[in-house]
Amino acid sequence: MSGTFIGMPAFSPPTLPAFSPPTLPAFPTAAKEAVRNPTLRRNLRYATHTIRAKRAAAVSELDDWAALREAGRQIKDHTLRHLDRYLLQLEESVTAAGGVVHWAADADEANRIVTGLVKATGESEVVKVKSMATQEIGLNEALAAEGIHAYETDLAELIVQLGRDRPSHILVPAIHRNRGEIRDIFTHEMSEWGRPAPEGLSDTPAELAEAARLHLREKFLRAKVGISGANFMVAETGTLAVFESEGNGRMCLTLPETLISVVGIEKLVPTWRDLEVFLQTLPRSSTAERMNPYTSMWTGTTDDDGPRTFHLVLLDNGRTDTLADRVGRQALRCIRCSACLNVCPVYERAGGHAYGSVYPGPIGAILSPQLRGTASDIDASLPYASSLCGACYEVCPVAIDIPEVLVHLRERVVEGGPAVRQGAKVTLRPARGHAAERAAMRAARWTFRHPGALRAGQRLASGTRRLVPRTLPGPGRAWSATRDLPKLPPEPFREWWRRTHRPGGQAPADRQEDQR
């Protein structure tokens, strides 16, 4: 759907550091913006429903979808189970193919490494193909602080960057802009950054896309440094893969002399053959296509073809902490297709901003509190931004049981307990009586007060949860046998809700929001 980088086009408000939870309001506060903006709500609804229907059609073409999904789950679980071994194998194969591998324990370290690499080239600008990992670490801001300008090259990102504005939607980050506004932004702003918009630019999408093509082409042709993420890394061969639509990815990956890829350590698969699963499940789940227009795969460097220097920065930044959680670790299987967003009744009503992170929607609700911890208001409230309907689990191409993880994280917020932060074991205090509990409560109340979200959720989920086995059969057992999967809805949450929910405390304005 969105132009580039299949998977979730990220949104990080340019005015805020990408991943600084304490500065962000809790879930329901941010959700009000979308709920009160009827245009945005209509566009969100149109976008999610359109792509939801298309996805169902694309998936139904493959009668072995369930087997592909199961294979995807097994591949990812097996990789995570032996992540140390496969990371070392990847390092060896990338190095053998002419690449240089760097390891970054957190965002600061990754930013330092990338900034240093760009500076070593003597360049002061880079072209970027959208990547969630670099948005997660706030790379553009870190580069800007060192005088390096990063040009985002995805069309939607360009509209947002030129408009000095925040993306409003994950699939189509510029959906809050209509064609007339985009024409005005291009006409007024392009000249400040490079090639001006053509004289007499009209507002037809084709002409606007042409203006973007010309504006960005100038940057691609002179670019010396490209920065990307990757959708997959293959341990046995050292191959990286980027899935996209517009071709700006291909530009960034092949024209510059130096390529720097920042990739989360969970993006690994063991073998070349494993890609045959994800090449089938990712495009159909994400943009609802049989195949996205362009996929690039490269292994180290190739003489006279593409960048002469290739750096791979392997990013932890909370991933190993997530891996330490026996329930929550399944979130690391995520291939960022965004299918769970499109079916989520809460996302449809709350909008992407409400999740306070580059990872919105159901996956954001389980990933952000794990990568960042549950100390802040926003992260404590995210596990409550769900009606637990299970539609996200049903569409997930790697079978992440998002409701299960949400329930687990709610327990962690309410009851506290052991967790791992930055590699160290810590004991979390229960949120009871603290600001975090109030934030969580507000989020839960928001969900309960939007009966539309609940009802739609229940409809979507009909029949889903019945199919969930209590423990996973077969090889999955080794991974999941440590505990039974919980029943839904869970008692601890209900009890907590009864204890904290005071019927008199509702704001009438809130209650009406969903009845429009």
Partner 1 sequence: MSSRDVILGRVRRALADVPDDDTPYEVAVQRGYRRAHGERSIGETVDLLAENLADYRALVHRTDAARLPGLLARLLAGRGARSVLVPPGLPADWLAGELPTRVADDAELTPHQLDRVDSVITGCAVAIAETGTIVLDAGPDQGRRRITLVPDHHICVVRVPGQVVSSVPEALGRLDPARPLTWISGPSATSDIELDRVEGVHGPRTLEVVLTSED
Q: CB of 170: closest distance to ligand SF4 in angstroms?
A: 10
Closer residue to partner 1 (CB): 333 or 445 = 333
Q: CB of 22: closest distance to ligand SF4 in angstroms?
A: 25
> Which of 175, 400, 406, 413 is the binder for ligand SF4 (CB under 6 A)?
400
Closer residue to ligand SF4 (CB): 163 or 362 = 362
> Which of 398, 439, 444, 456 is the binder for ligand SF4 (CB under 6 A)?
398
Q: CB of 452: closest distance to partner 1 in angstroms?
A: 23
Q: Is 81 exposed, middle or buried (0-12, 13-18, 19+ CB in 10 A)?
A: middle
Under the binding rule (CB under 8 A), the answer on residue 485 touching partner 1 is no
> Which of 41, 119, 166, 217 is the binder for partner 1 (CB under 8 A)?
217
Instruction: Please count the residues of the chain.
Output: 516
H or E segment at 31?
Answer: helix 27-36
**Are the beta carbons of 357 and 364 closer than 8 angstroms?**
yes
Under the binding rule (CB under 6 A), the answer on residue 18 touching ligand SF4 is no
Q: Which of the choices partner 1, ligand SF4, none does residue 336 contact, using the CB cut-off of 5 to 8 A by kind? A: ligand SF4
Q: From residue 264 to residue 293, what is the string marking binding to ligand SF4 with x (rule CB under 6 A)?
A: ---------------------x--------
Give CA–CA dist 516/514, Å, rounded: 6
Binding part of the chain for partner 1, among 142-150, 319-327, 458-466, 499-507 by CB under 8 A, reads: 319-327
Q: Which of the choices ligand SF4, partner 1, none does residue 334 contact, using the CB cut-off of 5 to 8 A by kind? A: ligand SF4
> Which of 6, 212, 242, 395 is the binder for ligand SF4 (CB under 6 A)?
395
DSSP per residue over 75-93, as a string? HHHHHHHTHHHHHHHHHHH
> Which of 16, 100, 324, 485 is the binder for partner 1 (CB under 8 A)?
324
* Rg value, the chain, Cα: 22
Size of the site for ligand SF4 (CB under 6 A): 14
User: What are the backbone dihedrals phi and psi of residue 428, each rounded to the nearest 5 degrees, phi first?
Assistant: -80, 140
Under the binding rule (CB under 8 A), the answer on residue 348 touching partner 1 is no
Under the binding rule (CB under 8 A), the answer on residue 132 touching partner 1 is no
User: What are the backbone dihedrals phi and psi of residue 123, each rounded to the nearest 5 degrees, phi first?
Assistant: -90, 155
Under the binding rule (CB under 8 A), the answer on residue 251 touching partner 1 is yes
86-106 in b/e form (b: 16+ CB < 10 A) is bbebbbebbeebebebbebee
Residues 316-335, interacting with ligand SF4 (CB under 6 A): 334-335
DSSP per residue over 169-219, as a string? -SSSTTTTS-HHHHHHHHHHHHHHHSSPPPTT----HHHHHHHHHHHHHHH
> Which of 115, 124, 187, 254 is the binder for partner 1 (CB under 8 A)?
254
Under the binding rule (CB under 8 A), the answer on residue 304 touching partner 1 is yes
Closer residue to ligand SF4 (CB): 5 or 310 = 5
**Are the beta carbons of 390 and 464 closer than 8 angstroms?**
yes
Helices 83-96 and 65-81: angle between axes, nearest 10 degrees: 90
Give CA–CA dist 312/300, Å, rounded: 9
Q: From residue 53 to residue 92, what is the string marking binding to partner 1 with x (rule CB under 8 A)?
A: --------xxxx--xx-xx--xx-xx--x-xx--xx----
Q: From residue 333 to residue 362, what is the string marking binding to ligand SF4 with x (rule CB under 6 A)?
A: -xxxxxxx----------------------
Give CA–CA dist 259/309, Å, rounded: 6
Under the binding rule (CB under 6 A), the answer on residue 397 touching ligand SF4 is yes
> Which of 33, 123, 289, 514 is the binder for partner 1 (CB under 8 A)?
289
Which whole-number Å values give the CA distances from 319 to 227, 363, 423, 495, in the listed order?
21, 14, 10, 31
List all residues 6 or more positions away from 255 whose beta carbon is below 8 Å from its beta carbon.
220, 221, 223, 226
Under the binding rule (CB under 6 A), the answer on residue 414 touching ligand SF4 is no
Residues 23-42, interacting with partner 1 (CB under 8 A): none
List all residues 6 or more positions away from 274 whose beta carbon is below 8 Å from its beta carbon.
75, 234
H or E segment at 499?
Answer: helix 491-500
Under the binding rule (CB under 8 A), the answer on residue 354 touching partner 1 is no
- Chain positions contacting ligand SF4, by CB under 6 A: 285, 334-340, 363, 395-398, 400
